[in-house]
Each structure stands twice: as structure tokens, then as C-alpha cells.
Structure 1
């Protein structure tokens, strides 16, 4: 593979990674509530989730979605239901005061590993990246590409997705941002919940 192909993959995927979506939204809210370190662990999971979809595309899942569109539709509805469930929890718990000592998350998600899994699940809730990655591979990756090229592409995908969400985590973990959040917690949490529900409905309907 040529250097130009790697550069093209990098910038095309970076544009997709920085576009607002459930992962970016969750990284922002997590860092607001719990600080940058927790947002970083979530970002690692988001990057790993993107790599899982990329590997699935390599094994032909994108082609399978085209052959059996009902499978893609089913996965979209499952993913949409998961995002709406997260949105419901945000909305329901919005009026509760923020506990700055213990994260207000289910027990299974209080560990750093739990945050990684939450990031992975949030990424896997949207099957569209498999089609996106399939398009990238068909466009930029030659059929006879060596294994190291695929490993490098997965590295790019992880770097873009995890790296961008680490940046988001840093911005939303700043003390000034956090003070503003604490003053308007109920309103902001319900805005986040409404946006996440909207993204879930958009996933189901498009």
C-alpha cells in the first residue's frame, strides 16, 4: 500500500470520528461528571469498539449487510434501543444531586474496565460503521494488501476514535466547564439525554 492511501484513510476516518454521535456525547458527559481519567478509559473502549467494526468489515460483514439488509435493520433497532435506554437513565436521574466521591453509575460500570466496556457497547450499538469501513477498504485497500497494512489501518482507527474522545474528555473535564455543569446539572443532563434519544431514533429510522 502507498503512503497516500494511508493518509487518505486517516483523514476520511478522522472526519467520521469527530462528527457528533453517541460516543462523543457519552465521553463529554462522563468527563463532566467524573473527570478526565474516567473519560479516557471510556475513550479506550470507544476506540476498541471502532476496531471491532473494522475487523468485522474485513471479514465481509459489510457485504453481508448488503446481501441481507434485514440483518442490518435488526441490528440498528437493537442499537437504537440501547441508546434510548441510556438516554432514559440520563433523563430520569437528571434531578439527582451529583455525588463527587462515587460515580453515579451502576455497580458494574464503576471500575475502569466497566468504562471500557461501556465505550465498546456504545460503539457496537451503531452497526453503520461496518458499512463505512467496508467502503474505505474497498476504496483504498488493494486486495493483495499485506497483513501489516491491515494492522496499521486498525492502529489508525483506534488512534482517531480514542484520541478524539480523549480530547473531548479533556475539554469537558476542565474546572470551569465542570462548575457550569454543576450549576445547571438537571438541564444539561436532560439535554444530553434528549440528544442521545434523538440519535437513537435517527439510527432506527435511517
Structure 2
């Protein structure tokens, strides 16, 4: 593979990574409510989840969905249900005052739990499956050497994890936090509403 091919993959995937979606939304909320460090662990999971979709695409994801289209439908509705569940939790707890101490359920979730949440969020969203199963594969030569796949996966992880680390950092800043505290209920319900809309859009398209 040429350097130009790697640059093309980097730019195309970066555009997909920074587009608003459930992963970016949760990275922002985690950075805002739980701090930069915990938001960064979530971002690591988001990057790993993107790599999982990429590996699936490289090993025939698009072919599988063509052979068994019902599988994509099941995946789509399961992902929509997961996103709507997260939205419900955000909306329900929106009026509760923000305590500097994390809720027991949240504080018990260590770095590994945050990584798994990031992975689950990515896997619950078929949007990356469509991207990796179509656009992404057009940039990968059919007989690329094994080492090239490692470089491609590294690019995907850096793009997705790196962007969401930046998002978590921006939303963890004290100025951002002060604005959030002033409008906590409204902001939490906006986050929850957006996540629910993303889930509904996923289920209906």
C-alpha cells in the first residue's frame, strides 16, 4: 500500500469519527459529569469498538449482511434499544442535583467498565458497520499485506479514541462544568433527548 492510500483512509475515517453520534455524545457527557480521566477511558473503548467493526469488515462483514440481511435488522433494533435505554437513564436522573461524589453505580465502574461501555456503545450503533462495510473497504486494496492491516487498525483507533479524548477534555474544563451546573436539568434532558432521537432514527431507517 502507498502512503497516499493510508492518508486517504485516515482522512475518510477521521470525518466519520468526528461526525456527531452516540459515541461523541457519551464522551462529552462523561467528561462533563465524571471528569477527563474517566472520559478518556471511555474514549479508549470507543476506539476499540471501531477497530472491532473494521476487523469485521475486513473479514467479510459486507458479504455477511448481503447473505443474511435480517442480521443487520436485528443488530439495528438491538442498538436502538440500547441507545434509548441510555437516554431514559439520562432523562430520569436529570433533575437530581450533581454531587461531587459519583453515584455508587458509577463510581463502582472502574477503567475497565468504562472501556467496555465505550465498546458497547460503538457495537450498538450499526452506523460504523455501514461505513466500514462500504466506504471503508473501497480504500483498502483487496490483497493488502498483513502489516498494512495493522497500520489501518492503528489509524482507526487513533482517530476514534483521539477525537473522543479531545471531546472529553473540552467538556471536563471548569468553565464548561460551571455552565453545566447552572443548567443541569436542561442539558441532561437535551443529551437524553438527542440520544433517544438517534436511537429512533436508527430503528426507523
Does the pair score TM above 0.5? yes
Match of 1:199 in 2: 198
**CA contact 2:24–2:167 (8 Å) conserved in 1:** yes
Match of 1:11 in 2: 11
Q: TM-score, normalising length from structure 1?
A: 0.95
Q: TM-score, normalising length from structure 2?
A: 0.96
In the TM superposition, 1:37-116 aligns within 5 A as: 37-101=37-101, 103-104=102-103, 106=105, 110-116=109-115
**Alpha-carbon shift at residue 107 of structure 1 (Å):** 5.3
Tell me, in whole angstroms, the C-alpha distance in 1 between the residues paired with 2:125 and 2:182: 32
**Alpha-carbon shift at residue 109 of structure 1 (Å):** 5.6
Tell me, in whole angstroms, the C-alpha distance in 2 between the residues paired with 1:86 and 1:163: 23
Secondary structure of 1:145 counterpart: coil
> How many residues are aligned here?
205
Per-residue deviation, residues 91-149 of structure 1 (Å, max 9, x unmatched): 00011111212x23635862111111110000000123123112245312222211110
Match of 1:185 in 2: 184
Secondary structure of 1:188 counterpart: helix
Structure 1: runs of 5 or more not aligned: none
Q: Could you tell which deviates more after superposition, 46-55 or 67-76?
A: 67-76
**CA contact 1:108–1:114 (8 Å) conserved in 2:** no
Flag the 1:137–1:21 CA change in 2: closer, same or farther, 3 A. Answer: closer
Per-residue deviation, residues 24-43 of structure 1 (Å, max 9, x unmatched): 00000111101101100000
**Alpha-carbon shift at residue 205 of structure 1 (Å):** 1.1
**CA contact 2:57–2:137 (8 Å) conserved in 1:** no
Tell me, in whole angstroms, the C-alpha distance in 1 between the residues paired with 2:136 and 2:199: 27
